Structure 1
Amino acid sequence: MDLTLSDEQRLLRESADRFVSETYTADHRRKVANDPLGFSADIWKQFADLGWLALPIAEAHGGLGGGAVEVGILMEAFGRGLVSEPYLSTVVIGVSLISECGTEAQKRALLPDIADGSLYLAFAHSERQARFDLADIRTTAKKTSDGWQLDGHKTAVLDGNAANQIIVSARVDDGSGKPGKLCLFLMPKGARGLALRDFPRLGGGRACNLELSGVQLLADALLGNGNDALPAIEAVIDRAMAALSAEAVGIMQTLLDQTLEYTKIRKQFGRPLSANQVIRHRLADMAMQCDEARSMALRAALMADAEPIARSRAASGAKAKIGKCARFVAEQSVQLHGAMGVTEELDIGSYFKRLLAFDTLFGGSAHHYRRHAALGGRAVQA
């Protein structure tokens, strides 16, 4: 298999690395941390001008038709800069859900607005009792005379505070007393009956919890034709985990690079730290973990459009393996920097926190080891 990047992919990587290195300075990150949005709206517009928001959108809807590998290239660069813009929630997840579930009219109405940067999306799916089980949804949607009524709660909605539209998952109550089909609804942020409480996320950005008490939506708020959305949700979350894996690789590589540079200039007993063999061994172990993580992230991206079991095993395998690799690299980086590693003078602590958030988002390593094993059993039975 030829894993060499194409000319277009190389240009994307070079432009993304250059933009991130020039824009996402320590001063910029401190400024954005105090922004109520949790990111810069001006930089989001620059993303649109660069074509990054249109990257995974189909050409038929004004996009560039890029795939998971191209998104992974961009996300790895974002990891290097600790980018907090809502690319994951709006572009990776939002665009995928609309593309998978939306009607043609909904795609024509929504996707161009995402591409030009005027529409922010969020996906409200997780609930307190679910514990990463994508099928465990208790939020309900009842059909009314003029639309739908939603009741329930959602937790940890990424970038929900900034979203113009929130895609909400709910089970349709058909009056039978049994759990109904899982469907998706487009809910405007200011909908009556919606209570939103936002909070800062570990490692940058913001998220929110939602309480839905008799939220009234019009009939056209239903995303798609009312088919069961669970298979599409599983596919989209697998793609999101592939993108997050690439972002984690960018963070890990940055920690390795900064630690290597620090051990070259930091002297102890008259010689650089990097002159000690035990330090070299640690750096070599960190480099190996970065390479292993990069391979798993690339595999998840390449399998993003495979049949469901193979796709999900690749995504869970990457999430589980990279979670452990990332923890090792982050801990070694902090330790080799000594007390400086946890001060605000260096960015090491910020990168560490972002990796901790990565390990928890959509399930930690233990959860995905179990999912990977269970899917393996299903593949054998098939």
Structure 2
Amino acid sequence: MDFKLTEEQQMLQETATRLVRDAYSFEAREQYSLSEEGFSRTFWQQLGELGLTAVPFPEVLGGFGGGGVDTMLLMTEFGRGLCLEPYVESVIYAGGLLMQLGSPAQLQDLLPQVASGKLLLATAFQEPQSHYHLNDVQTRAEQTAEGWTLSGRKAVVMSGHQAGLILVSARISGDSRAEQGIGLFLIDPQAVGVERRTYPTVDGRKACDLYLDKVNVSAYHVLGEPGQALAALRYQQGRAIAAQCADALGSMQETCRLTLEYLKTRQQFGVAIGQFQVLQHRMVDMCTDLEQVTSMAILAACCGDEADSLERTRNLATAKFIVSRAARNVAEQAIQLHGGIGMTWEYSLAHHAKRLVMLSHQFGDDDHHLKAYAAFLDAA
């Protein structure tokens, strides 16, 4: 298999590398994190102007027509720079749902805005009791003469505090865990009956809980066929997982670089601590994990955009499981090898560790995906 990047992919990677290096210093990131938005709107606009928010969308709708490998190249650089912008949530997950389920009018009206970075989307699929199960939906949607009314609560809506539109899953029929009867609705967060409670997450980003009290939704703002949204939610979450694996890869690369540099420069008993064999062994273990994650990120990128199948689902579950375990181990080992400085707020390593822990839980932790993989083996 040829793993060489095309000329266009090399240019894309170089563009992302320069942009993150020049515009996203660690000190600037801290200011973005503390701001009301929780990320840099200027940086997000730069992504749009350079066409990076358009990478996964078809050319006829204002996109770049890129695939999973193109997304992986971008997300690896974003992970290396600890970028706070909701690329996965808005462009990959929510944008993918819009692209898969949207009507011709919705695609024509909304998708070019997402591709240009002018419209920020979020996806509200989690609930306090759901614990990674997309079919566990208690938010209810009732049909009316004008459209629908939604009532319920959504938890940990990443970037939902600044989204122009939020994609909300709600139950149209069936009990709270039925596979059928789940619809997807476009909600204006400024609409009557919508309340958002914003809070910081462990890795410096921001999320919100979404409270819906008889929120009116017109028929135009229903995505796809009412009650048939679960398959699309699962498929697009698979694409988001593939992008997230690349995000973790970039963060792990920087974590290993920082740790190796520290072992070479920190001295004890008159020599660099990197000369101690036991520390060398632990550094090798970290690099081994990094190589494994690199392979899994490539696998996820290659299969993320494939047609839905049991093999695709198994591969993505495998990638998420291995990346989650390795990311957490690398974060813990890096802190141990650094000692106290590894937990210092002013040092970027601590923030990489937090990011890796966060990524290991978002879209399902390692135990969730291990159980899923076992279930897929039984199904096969």
TM tier, smaller: over 0.9
1:269-295 deviation line (CA, Å, top 9, x unaligned) = 111111122221111111110010110
Letter of the structure 1 residue corresponding to residue 359 of structure 2: F
1:15-94 aligned at under 5 Å gives the runs: 15-94=15-94
- Does residue 114 of structure 1 match 2:121? no
Residues 111 and 79 of structure 1: CA distance in aligned 2, closer, same or farther (over 3 Å): same
> Runs of 4 or more off by more than 2 Å in structure 1?
224-227
Structure 1 residue runs of 5 or longer lacking an equivalent are none
1:204-353 aligned at under 5 Å gives the runs: 204-226=204-226, 228-304=228-304, 305-353=306-354
The count of corresponding residues between Structure 1 and Structure 2 is: 377
Q: CA separation in 1, counterparts of 2:79 and 2:140?
A: 36
1:105-128 deviation line (CA, Å, top 9, x unaligned) = 111111111122210100011111
Deviation at 1:225, TM superposition (A): 3.6
Contact 2:200 2:207 in 1 (8 A): yes
Q: CA separation in 2, counterparts of 1:109 and 1:375?
A: 38
- Does residue 355 of structure 1 match 2:350? no
Deviation at 1:307, TM superposition (A): 3.5
Letter of the structure 1 residue corresponding to residue 189 of structure 2: K
SS at match of 2:37: coil
Q: Please give the root-mean-square deviation of Cα atoms over the aligned residues, in Å.
A: 1.5
Q: TM-score, normalised by structure 2?
A: 0.96
Deviation at 1:174, TM superposition (A): 8.8
Give the equivalent residue in structure 1 for 2:161: 161
1:146-185 aligned at under 5 Å gives the runs: 146-173=146-173, 181-185=181-185
Contact 1:142 1:174 in 2 (8 A): no
Deviation at 1:180, TM superposition (A): 5.8
- Does residue 367 of structure 1 match 2:378? no
Identity of aligned residues (%): 39
Letter of the structure 1 residue corresponding to residue 317 of structure 2: S
Contact 1:138 1:170 in 2 (8 A): yes
Contact 2:274 2:280 in 1 (8 A): yes
Q: CA separation in 1, counterparts of 2:309 and 2:171?
A: 22
Give the equivalent residue in structure 2 for 1:126: 126
Letter of the structure 2 residue corresponding to residue 320 of structure 1: F
SS at match of 1:137: coil
Structure 2 residue runs of 5 or longer lacking an equivalent are none
Q: CA separation in 1, counterparts of 2:155 and 2:113?
A: 26
Letter of the structure 1 residue corresponding to residue 101 of structure 2: C
Q: CA separation in 1, counterparts of 2:225 and 2:137?
A: 19
Q: TM-score, normalised by structure 1?
A: 0.96
Letter of the structure 1 residue corresponding to residue 129 of structure 2: Q
Deviation at 1:226, TM superposition (A): 2.9
Letter of the structure 1 residue corresponding to residue 352 of structure 2: Y
Q: CA separation in 2, counterparts of 1:16 and 1:273?
A: 34
